[in-house]
Amino acid sequence: MTRVAIVGAHGKVAQQLMRVLYDQGDEFVGIVRNEDHADDIYRFGGEGILLDIETADVDALATAFAGSGAVVFAAGAGGDSGVERKATVDYGGSIKSQTAAQRAGVARFVQISAMGVDDPVAPDATESWTAYVAAKRDADAELRRTALDWTIVRPGALTLDDGTGLVSIAPRLERGAIPREDVARVIAEVLRSPETIRSQFDLVSGTAPIGDALADLTRANDIG
């Protein structure tokens, strides 16, 4: 991997991913909307680009992606944001990033989604949660329809625990949790694994080393 463009580089998973990429010797550019957040990218040895994906046009985003070998969409409006921002960040930001990647000639696109977003929402779910699920679900569906070399990673509940390097990966899993560090390590491995292109999987803590879990997934996909 020559260079990875990370959308939403201030997020906690993205921060862990930058650490992993730095340790691997990979180059990365982090896209953030706040100048203060860019300091975190420089601290990890990356290049920072100030760009608000809610207001930036596709051409500006394509320029930011130019020269990259992959795009990782890690942006999210956050749990305390309103319904409108779920639509403009989690959904609209992803769609804009997908379009910009194609315009920039960057085929590889990894999207961080969430477990269970294809399932029906509980009748008593909050308006904010319903909007979040819809945004993630619809962004994933749009990505699957593109010609990009996509992978959709759907982690369970995210924790701040230290990573173990042991995970469970499958198209569908029972609900569970996973440290953000392990999510980042899975994404880094996915970027190095062309066998994961055009695959979507759930991800929680488990008993298999990351490389083995991904290999089992790709073998199952080949058989299927």
Would you please indicate which residues are annotated as catalytic (active-site) residues? 132
> Counting Cβ atoms within 10 Å, is residue 111 exposed (0-12), middle (13-18) or buried (19+)?
buried
**102 φ/ψ sector (left φ>0, alpha ψ -120 to 50, else beta):** alpha
Token pair 């996909």: residue: 221
> Rounded distance, CA 72 to CA 110, Å?
5
> Rounded distance, CA 130 to CA 169, Å?
25
Q: Do 18 and 46 meet the contact criterion of CB atoms below 8 Å apart?
A: yes
DSSP 8-49: TTTSHHHHHHHHHHHHHT-EEEEEESSHHHHHHHHHTT-EEE
Q: Do 195 and 219 meet the contact criterion of CB atoms below 8 Å apart?
A: no
Helices 12-24 and 180-191 cross at an angle (nearest 10°) of: 50
Instruction: Tell me the two tokens of residue 54.
Output: 């809610």
Task: Please give the distance of CA 91 from its chain centroid, rounded to a whole number.
Answer: 13
